[in-house]
Chains A and B, each alone.
Chain A
Amino acid sequence: AQSVTQLDSHVSVSEGTPVLLRCNYSSSYSPSLFWYVQHPNKGLQLLLKYTSAATLVKGINGFEAEFKKSETSFHLTKPSAHMSDAAEYFCVVSGAGRRALTFGSGTRLQVQP
């Protein structure tokens, strides 16, 4: 079985400051991990994915995440937040038979001017 836990339901930062969205995972095999973003009234968009290559993964829009097996973590970071980053972010692990995705409960990111 596999699951993800997003440690913060809401994160608020000021524009131009760093972003940290935390995610811990549990998986009975070598996991594939993803971060997706959901803007209001828009579909989910893939930010980045980890599939057992480099542990530091770079994604779109300046986001990156580091896979830490010893800590079972896959935290999402960005050096400088932009107003357009305000959205819901989901940490995701590949699921049963790797044909399904298991989503975390989401972290709502607010960016203050």
Chain B
Amino acid sequence: DAGVTQSPTHLIKTRGQHVTLRCSPISGHKSVSWYQQVLGQGPQFIFQYYEKEERGRGNFPDRFSARQFPNYSSELNVNALLLGDSALYLCASRPGVQGDATNEKLFFGSGTQLSVL
């Protein structure tokens, strides 16, 4: 079975541009989460979606947005890119109990490495 797939694997943008990152969850998983991992740090929570609705948001500016499609895939959009947005962006999926994340294992993709110049 395919795991969580993310595209593209690498991306280079310039300041002020916009970027869209894509994620396909494991088949049957209804919940998708996005994390940002800056070099040398642990991942930070950005968003969680379940059944196409936002269920959680981390401490990120409004330049960051996301959505989930009927097939449960997801996009992360970042507007007006800053140098500090350079990071590895990780997508994770789980079967999707509406409640907490503690009782379900999260499956992570390999990430999209975004470089902002």
Residues of chain A at the chain B interface (Cβ within 8 Å):
32, 41-46, 49, 51, 90, 92, 94-106
Contact = CB atoms under 8 A, between A and B. Distances in A.
A97 B108 contact: no
A101 B41 contact: no
Contacts of A100: 33, 45, 48, 56, 58, 101
28 contacts: A32-B100, A41-B110, A43-B108, A44-B92, A44-B108, A49-B105, A51-B102, A90-B42, A90-B43, A94-B100, A94-B102, A95-B101, A96-B56, A97-B56, A98-B101, A98-B102, A99-B56, A100-B33, A100-B56, A100-B58, A101-B35, A101-B45, A101-B106, A103-B35, A103-B42, A103-B44, A105-B40, A106-B42
Contacts, number: 68
A32 B102 contact: yes
Interface of B: 3-4, 33, 35, 40-45, 48, 55-56, 58, 90, 92, 99-103, 105-111
Given A96-B56, A100-B56, A103-B43, A43 B3 contact: yes
A98 B42 contact: no
Contacts of B110: 41-43
A32 B102 CA distance: 6
B90 A44 contact: yes
A101 B56 CA distance: 11
Contacts of A106: 40-42
B2 to A, nearest CB: 13
Nearest to A6: B42
A66 B66 CA distance: 37
